[in-house]
Structure 1
């Protein structure tokens, strides 16, 4: 709880009751569970997805920016069906109330083949799921890890699982979103915060073994040797015929979940190093929660009777994944997104004066909740716009927009895309006197 960005006990009068589900969740619901290999058949690829890195949906996402989101005022998950069942069972080991379909897009689970041999696959996967920690009479408390990812080594007929691991990535300083209602209706105020989860994972204790052992003639054998000891199985080493790296597989899954990641978003310092080497501008997004995870909360009190203004979720599901924006970013910019917390740490440590100065320049321009910036390779911010202002002006009629900087183009029906294109092009125009080819 000490990693919660704002909402430690006592913040804005938060009662112990509101956080009771979080405070009382001190151990997994089931530290161990016995499962059959064939239950993992859901992770096998469909017949038309047998190329390395070609993603498919285990659980399809049913939401997008147009369909909205699912109700916050719920306590108990719907009954899982089909391929949801095995994922629900796995996540139930952490907590008894997992929701395998999140309230916000992108939902579901996506997978791809990372390696294959004659008889086995390594399947990499990514799951977006969340937990409801409270029960009546308390109000709902949602616990949403940024993502669950992992891999499974299983036979092509799903009769044998050699290895399984599922975990929440912990490389960034914030990786879990927490949201709780202050009332019993959908329009009740909701508090939102983010924090850090150092470890949350499931791992198989060893390869699956047959529940019934048969000899070469098909007769059932005793599972113990003459001395009464359990028969020990020796498994052959798997020779992988084709494979890709974990990093490449994870990137394929990320793009499947988030089309805006067709543009590479580099870590903050790497982006400026790349921009200097390629003589390009940096397109940088600074925000409170992650841009490419479910963990996108803003630590403020708000009502979910309408969309959250200025959220990274809105940006990634609209302008950042539009074709004209993707094309211009790939051609003319080096892109990056950063957490405010990470830049504050970079600013404070002063281990590298140049990088600390970059953080200084960014934080000087930052306004809550999300700031989009165009920067020179030396960190100078030559153009920036706050997400709240951006969403405000794109919801207006063209004649209502006072600023001549953000004008609407008749080439695009979507005013958000037109306005963001104008923002990027204005940055390119302003940079001409600085960047000499």
Structure 2
């Protein structure tokens, strides 16, 4: 692993130190085919030398100059100076002396890696310190070089290879991180976006059309969730909810609330009791007091001509009848977790649904996309206007057209930033 290369041991007079020195390129031999040169990409790499000995620093500067490779060479005389420079600009490579006025041995290496983990680190050791160099590589350095055995061409090649190894290491970490993120997404998706639990032989059928779309900035599913359950009495129960914030913790909380909702419904909890139980779960499981959840829940007995709706800080919903669409904003209460133990509870409102009609619940990601300069948003009225233009479409093209229209209106401002969950329900008597 270590590079052991030779130069005379004569100490040279130190030149005035430079914070950063630019060395112009020389013409390399025509036979040079070193693939690691591709790492430069035409941009001189920045190499930070951390060395308190002026003679050794001059030697490194001369080796860089003699190599003919165009680089920017920075210099720090102590670990404290180096940490300040590393915070200002991350180098491609750090040349680190193991004996500094304020750091000895591997302590300096640990500090450098802690501040600039993406830089390749090459440790500079003395003639009798090869074991220390091997220890540095085991602790995270890419390579070590032995002072007093340095030649320009091999010196720079060792640095290039160290940078290449670091790039390979970072790429491998990124790939593994992507695999883990995809696996986590799949697990969260199974929890947030369930298969509706419907009766095998119901008195009437419920047609479910559900859609979920992550926001543009999310690499993980957010906390939007939905669920549909038919209980043995033939009633349909549905919920659409949105956990505030984004990230794996919020998504996991959304899964928890969705599973709890299904369990409570199947156990017979209804109306205000159901939402109070969900709020208790939220308070017990959330990561901070600032986390809350909005939702709309509805129930419909078999054969009924209306749905019972509760709203907790959530947007309104659409009611469809043949050729018509209406926006309904029923009375509600605060989002779960905003005012724990809120006295009045969440009122239940009966909303008529005509035979052959349907309802569509959605999260605010569908209506809060920016569609114009300043604070212009689609909002519920804008969604209603689009929905009325598509009123005659069947469920799936109707839902898809609304999402596509919202995306198109927000396209010039980066698309829909928040997650979108949509749940469309329609009931039909069996033929």
Q: TM-score category by the smaller chain?
A: under 0.3
**What TM-score comes out, normalization by structure 2 length?**
0.22
**What TM-score comes out, normalization by structure 1 length?**
0.21
User: Bigger radius of gyration, 1 or 2?
Assistant: 2
